[in-house]
Amino acid sequence: MRAVSCKGWQMVWVALCVSICAACAACAALEPRRVPLATCLDNASACREGVLVTATVPELRTHWEALRGRLVEVSGPLGYFGQRGYWTWYLMLGGSTPIRCYTHHYRIEPGWDAQNLLYRVRAAGGQVTVVGVVRRDGIDIELLESGTEIVQPSYVPPRGWWPGHGWGL
């Protein structure tokens, strides 16, 4: 029986595949643990730093002070987005008592990817999910989600080499 030997390039491919798998596993471990608001209110130790608190718009309104400085995830209908009356763009999330969501970066408007996401949500009459930190005057947005799309409005992606198109596509 003949011994199987690996050539140098085969070992490089094996090492590359193992490192990619390790990097993917590390990234998956970085995702914050989601905890419902009721669990967070009942057990304060379950709601420690690095935990994503999930709540509805009315629950968030009711427990605003208890959640200040915490990372929250809240979904609701998109009421308005733009910069009317404030120094930066924002969106209103919720129905009769909306919550103002904004990014702490000075922007008259978000990046084209966030705008396109919000235009599609508004046209479809759908829901948008905001992940952000509860502040005194609203939610400081870290992520916007709708369906399978996730956007970071604090990041403005580069435009393509012709106007109106991103990444040159």
Domains of the chain: 33-151 (2.40.50.140)
> CA-CA distance, 33 to 35, in Å (whole number)?
7
- Statement: the pTM of the whole predicted model exceeds 0.75: no
Q: Quick count: other Cβ atoms within 10 Å of Cβ 73?
A: 21
Residue 66 has pLDDT above 60, yes or no: yes
Q: Which two tokens stand for residue 148?
A: 């399978």
> CA-CA distance, 15 to 9, in Å (whole number)?
10
Q: What is the pLDDT of residues 93-127, one digit of tens each?
A: 887 788 888 887 656 667 778 888 888 888 898 89
Query: Quick check: 140 and 133 in contact, CB under 8 A?
Result: yes
Residue with tokens 């057990």: 43
- The pLDDT score that the predictor gives to residue 95 is 75
